[in-house]
Amino acid sequence: MKCPFCGYYDTRVVDTRVVKNASIIRRRRMCDKCKHKFTTYERVEEVPLMVIKSDNRREPFDINKLREGILRAIEKRPVSSEDVERIISEVQQELAQKFTMEVPSSTIGKLVLKHLFELDPVAYVRFASVYYQYDSIEKFMKELRNLKRRYSSKRYKDNKNE
């Protein structure tokens, strides 16, 4: 490590500490030439996940866009902030496990839909209406019928397991 005071390249570590849940390491260093001490921080370099849009544009994954979409879907629904943050966290974890550099936007939408289906059927329909871009009442009604059938089946299974 180059000394910021004299520019000498031979410095040594005199103290190391872990910071922020072991994601950052703080090191105190001393220059062997001028004897000045200074601090450096090490962290893992994270490559931002890129989202491939439907028109093949790429943009960085934005957690705020994800949160805004979910908040619009749950507006005036009995869904807590903790539930929203849990969904966001679970979606991020699933993306991190399956994708390292790029993820199709459709995959993100499907993950959110899966979590909203389990949480609140109205929020699911709201999100689906934007995600699937229904262009007719018939398509929307078909989705509602499918949702009703899936949700009734899910409730039946839940009641059977109790």
Q: What is the DSSP letter of 78?
A: S
- Residues near 96 by beta carbon (within 8 Å), at least 6 away in sequence: 49
> Given this model, what pLDDT does residue 21 score?
64
Distances, alpha carbon 93 to alpha carbons 2, 106, 150, in Å: 37, 16, 26
The pLDDT, as a whole number, for residue 129 is 87
Question: How large is the angle between the packed helices 105-119 and 137-161, nearest 10 degrees?
Answer: 50
The rounded distance, in Å, linking the Cα atoms of 131 and 110 is 9
- CB count in 10 Å sphere of residue 51: 22
Q: Please give the DSSP secondary-structure letter assigned to residue 128.
A: H
Q: What HEC string does 25-66 produce?
A: EEEEEEECCCCCEEEEEEECCCCCCEEECCCCCEEECCHHHH
Q: Vertex 118, ends 113 and 123: CA angle to 5°?
A: 55
| Claim: this prediction has a pTM higher than 0.85 | no
Kindly report, residue by residue over 11-41, the tens digit of the pLDDT: 999 999 987 666 789 999 999 999 999 999 8
Structural tokens at position 19: 């910071």
**pLDDT tens for residues 93-150?**
899 889 889 999 999 999 999 999 989 989 998 999 888 888 888 888 888 888 888 7
